[in-house]
């Protein structure tokens, strides 16, 4: 059971990271990811990019539920909550 939750957690983190990269590509004004992230931090919209990136977790979550892999879905949910908490911390530090 713990292994299945850990797999779901890893899938959730990877999906959020890929979603962030996709959001950077779509909404960034430069081809340099580092430059886009620096601008996002400076202008205060990094948390918005992170939130958009976490939307890919919805797909992973519902896919695991459809396949009756509830423990993996729980891991994706935990990863999403971690992204949420990180987003809140970054938002309120600025």
Question: Among residues 75, 89, 91, which one has the least CA distance to residue 14?
Answer: 75
Task: For residue 61, name the pLDDT band (cuts at 50, 70, 90).
Answer: very high
Q: Give the pLDDT confidence of 7-24 residue by residue, as tens digits.
A: 999 999 999 999 999 999
- Number of domains into which the chain is organized: 1
Q: Categorise residue 69: left if φ over 0, alpha if ψ from -120 to 50, beta otherwise.
A: beta
Domain range for 61 is 2-93
Which residues does 65 contact at the CB level (< 8 Å), separation at least 6? 73
* DSSP H stretches of helix in 1-94: 2-27, 33-43, 46-53, 56-66, 70-93
pTM of the predicted model as reported, rounded to 2 decimal places:
0.87
Q: What pLDDT, on the 0 to 100 scale, is given for residue 81?
A: 96
Q: Give the pLDDT confidence of 26-43 residue by residue, as tens digits.
A: 888 877 888 888 888 888
Q: Give the pLDDT confidence of 66-92 residue by residue, as tens digits.
A: 999 999 999 999 999 999 999 999 888
């Amino acid at each position: 059971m713990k292994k299945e939750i850990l797999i779901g957690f890893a899938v959730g983190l990877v999906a959020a990271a890929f979603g962030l990269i996709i959001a950077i590509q779509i909404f960034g004004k430069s081809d340099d990811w580092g430059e886009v992230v620096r601008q996002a931090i400076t202008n205060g919209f990094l948390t918005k990019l992170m939130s958009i990136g976490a939307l890919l977790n919805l797909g992973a979550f519902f896919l695991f539920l459809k396949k009756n892999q509830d423990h993996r879905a729980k891991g994706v949910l935990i990863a999403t909550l971690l992204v949420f908490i990180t987003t809140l911390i970054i938002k309120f530090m600025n």
